[in-house]
Structure 1
Amino acid sequence: MYAKCREHGLRVRKEDVRLLLKELDPRGVSRRLARRLRRRNYFSKGPNFIWHIDSYDKLKPYGICINGSIDGFSRKMIWLNAYTTSRDPKLIGGYYIEAVQRLGGCPRVVCGDLGTENGYVRGFQRFLVPIQPDCTIDSYLEGASTANQRIEYWWGFLRRECVEFWLTLFADLRDNGFFDGGFLDKGLLQFCCMGLIQDELDDTAQVWNTHTIGPSKNPNVPSGRPNVMFAVPELYGTRDFLSPIEDGEFQLCKNECIFRQTKPCDPDLYELCNIFMAESNLTLATDPYQAVNLYMHLREAIRACV
């Protein structure tokens, strides 16, 4: 309320706002003092009851797009992928189909935001897990990304453990005039760094899935290791909610998807980079600093030929 007053040009003290609220809305003040206004507690029945999916765009200005999914009960990462885009519905659908094939079934519910990139996942999920007559829950739930709390919280962990380093590294290139945000520079970063970033994403997900989550104030949220909670739900008094699928229906969905290619950037640029590397007897980088050196070498060589 104090902030709203300031936005409307009212120069007031916070203490005055507090006193006025106490006079104008004593019931609301007393309810807040009694802590009766509480956030709803998150609840998931068991592993594979609900998956949360979302895209992480902090590295998108540099041509690296990350998409992930997390199980709502166990907090196990289902997938965590880096690629040149996270806006193609067929690609995101491919991530979903790969996970379904690996696990042998679908979750009971998938939760995503309102972005168009989730369109194929929404269609696949509702096709493979139709609503039962005795069930009122849709198999795909969509809403604001801020309500997709499981995956939104996890992005903070990812930034601390992995992405912050790459953001700083790429920002240094940009600030020193070695990255202009154009097609060539984005493509070269993808060529030099995509594989390293995916390796770090895999390692980060592995660390998360094997670490111990401590007890929560929410009695509906179990504690323990995500891998254990996901694989042995009986220890927590629940079961696996994975929904089996028909092979024919699965193949229909799979045929509509596209999947990540082995070439991490534009195919023509990929071939050009390999030619320059062969001429200079260079190999792909094995660490971020080697990747930056390779990026600088290829950038200079290609610009000299243009």
Structure 2
Amino acid sequence: MPNPSGKNGYISAPPDELIKPVIEQYVARGYSNKEIVSRLRDHYDVDKYNVSLDLLKKRRSQWGLKAARGQHHTITSIAPAIERVRVRFPNQGSHDMKQTLLQEERIMVSRELILEYMNRHHPSEVQARKTHRLKRSIFWTAGLHDLWVYDQHDKWRRFQLYLHVGLEPFSGRTLWLKIWWTNRNPRLICGWYCDTVAALGAMPLLGQSDPGTENNGVANGHTMLRHLHDPHLSQTLQHKFKNKHGNIKPEIFWSQLRKRWSPGFEDILNYGVHNGLYNPDDPLERLVFHFLFIPWLQRELDLFAERFNNSKPRHNIHKALPHGRPNDIFSRPEDFDSKDFSVKVDPALLATVREEYAPAQHPVFRLVPDEFFAQATEFMTALGNPVMDGTNAWSIYMDLLFCFRLLEDPDQIHGFSSVIEQARDEHLPVMELPPCVDDGMVGAGMHPLGSDVSSDAESDQYEFVWTTDEDSE
């Protein structure tokens, strides 16, 4: 029976203020009109409202949310935006360039036009990216949240900067991508794990990492949380330690980050070190550097992770299903004929684990000591709170360093530095429990132990063959 409240007997459209922000978000992520219509149903009452494909096209036209063809860009019109992006990402291929232009410049343009521009103005770079260096490895997982994998990255040790990543390998989604003044303290890594579990309200069946002691905290924390929710698991460690070649997915992620994100920022950091602006061994310079550069670089990493999670990789014939945007697979596994193996988490039990292994008052969670942070914030206010970017980063650093030099107290700076050094690394032994059963496949190891896993889970395992050339031209 037609809805009498709708125009001409049809269900009425939802209010613009309800759907416009959502549509803008999906357009900015590069979703097609059909994909947007499908996902919009999660944002309004389908019994009360409806958005058809024709209505979406009409609204996008009214709001100026045009597709690539509708924006009518040319090689000349996209040139300034591409060159702005290349300052930070000099090695970006057309796939990443398209996503960056969409995310940061709100420019929707085809890869063909980007390639035409790059072939005309930067042909040597295009040719270099066409060189394929394949590294294929097999990775097994049963489904979404079967396990999470973790790994650290120390390539920026010379700047006293360290990175860490947590991944959900079935969807390929980045759970966290962090930069900090250490990645060796097990309480810090466990803290990032707890933050993610709190945001999702769920945890995986298993964790996996290399055997480094910095991962003992997350191994213990996840195991304790699993035990609290299911006492039947109390005799086993709910974490798997793999050597470098066994923990495949993070290694490939770091390869992609080094190629697609790091070069431009590394040039900026090298400039400060090579020109004597920053000495990582000087306690005061290191504190000022961390105070300014870590938040800025974290914002840039957050943008990269967002692009990564919302970008559909090039179809890979060597990879089993699912194919799609990591965020789509992560949020709607049923659309990809998969299962969600996550375990719902009681916030009170998570708080218990956090207090045991990642207490918020621990100094490792402080960017800099509190007194230094307060003084630096006061100085930055006096300097006008300039917004930091790649063009002014070292100028802001020198201004703030000069302020501290005027009142430098060597004993106080030494005290600040010693607090950081004591928190940089910490010994935390892993639980003395037998490891979970491992018969060679990631998903299979936990089934005999987990009472919350369906009996047919092993039959739904997926094989992924990951390669390192997804961003090649």
- Looking at structure 1, the residues matched to 213 and 326 of structure 2 have their Cα atoms a distance apart, in angstroms, of 30
Q: Which runs of 5+ in 1 are unaligned?
A: 1-37
Provide Cα deviations, 1:227-247, integer angstroms capped at 9, x if missing partner: 111111112221111012344
Query: What does 1:1-306 align with in structure 2 at a 5 Å threshold?
Result: 41-130=138-227, 139-182=238-281, 183-256=283-356, 257-259=358-360, 264-279=367-382, 281-303=383-405, 305-306=407-408
Give unpaired runs (5+ residues) of structure 2. Answer: 1-134, 409-473
Q: Which amino acid aligns with 2:211?
A: L
Asked if structure 2 preserves the Cα contact closer than 8 Å seen for 1:284 and 1:291, the reply is no
* Cα drift, residue 261 of structure 1: 8.5
AA of the residue aligned to 1:165 = G
Per the TM alignment, residue 297 of structure 1 is displaced from its structure 2 partner at its CA by 1.8
- Distance in 1 separating the partners of 2:224 and 2:380: 47
Q: Residues of 2 paired with 1:217 and 1:96: CA distance?
A: 33
Deviates more, 1:52-61 or 1:90-99: 52-61
Detail structure 1 runs of 4+ shifted over 6 Å in the superposition. Answer: 131-134
Deviations 1:97-144 (A, max 9, x none): 11111111111111111111111110122222259979xx96311122
Can you list the C-alpha shifts for 1:242-273, whole angstroms capped at 9, x where unaligned? 01234443221021214598963233333333
**SS where residue 399 of structure 2 aligns?**
helix
d(CA) in 2 for partners of 1:40 and 1:305? 55
TM-score, L = length of structure 2: 0.52
Check 1:265–1:240 CA distance in 2 against 1; reply closer, same or farther (3 A cut): same
Indicate if the aligned counterparts of 2:198 and 2:347 stay in contact, CA closer than 8 A: no
1:74 deviates by: 0.5
Percent identity reads 23
Q: What is the CA–CA distance in structure 2 between the aligned matches of 1:118 and 1:44, rounded to whole Å?
A: 21
Instruction: Classify the secondary structure of the residue corresponding to 1:214.
Output: coil
Q: Is the 8 A contact 1:42 1:221 kept in 2?
A: no
Q: Secondary structure at the match of 2:350?
A: helix
In structure 1, what is the Cα distance between the partners aligned to 2:399 and 2:200? 42
> 1:268 aligns to what SS in structure 2?
helix
Q: State the SS of the aligned residue for 1:155.
A: helix
RMSD: 2.8
Q: 1:132 to 1:39 in 2, by over 3 A?
A: farther
- When residues 168 and 238 of structure 1 are mapped into structure 2, their CA distance, relative to the original with a 3 A threshold, is same
Counterparts of 1:201 and 1:100 in 2: how far apart (Å)? 20
CA, structure 1 residues 290+210, in 2 after alignment: closer, same or farther (shift >3 Å)?
Answer: same
SS in 2 for 1:145: coil
